[in-house]
C-alpha cells in the first residue's frame, strides 16, 4: 500500500487576528493533522503566512495546540 503525502499551504495573514484569519489556520492545521494520521503531511507557510510562526509560538494565541500537534 502506498503512503499518502500531502502539503498544506498557509497563506493567511496573522496580523488582523480576525475570526476568519484564525479559522483559516485552524482548518489548515486540522487538515494537516488528519492527513498526517494516514500518511505524511507537510505544513508550508508562504506569503503573508510566513509571519505566522512567530504568532503561533505565543502561548496566548489559540492555535498553538494544533501547531504542536502537527509536529511544528
User: C-alpha distances in angstroms, 9 versus 2, 5, 28, 31?
Assistant: 23, 13, 8, 11
Q: Give me the residue spans of the domains in the chain.
A: 4-69
- At 34 the pLDDT is 85
Q: Taking the alpha carbons of 49, 51, 54, 56 in that order, is the dihedral positive or negative?
A: negative
Confirm whether pTM is higher than 0.85: no
- At 42 the pLDDT is 85
pLDDT tens per residue, range 35-66: 888 888 888 888 888 877 777 777 777 765 65
C-alpha–C-alpha distance, residues 23 and 5, integer Å: 23
**Nearest one of 25, 30, 63 to 45, comparing CA atoms:** 25
Amino acid at each position: 500500500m502506498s503512503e499518502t503525502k500531502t502539503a498544506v499551504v498557509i497563506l493567511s495573514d496573522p496580523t488582523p487576528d480576525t475570526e476568519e484569519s484564525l479559522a483559516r489556520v485552524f482548518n489548515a492545521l486540522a487538515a494537516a493533522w488528519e492527513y498526517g494520521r494516514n500518511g505524511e503531511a507537510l505544513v508550508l507557510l508562504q506569503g503573508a503566512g510566513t509571519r505566522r510562526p512567530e504568532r503561533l509560538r505565543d502561548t496566548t494565541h489559540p492555535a498553538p495546540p494544533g501547531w504542536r500537534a502537527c509536529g511544528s
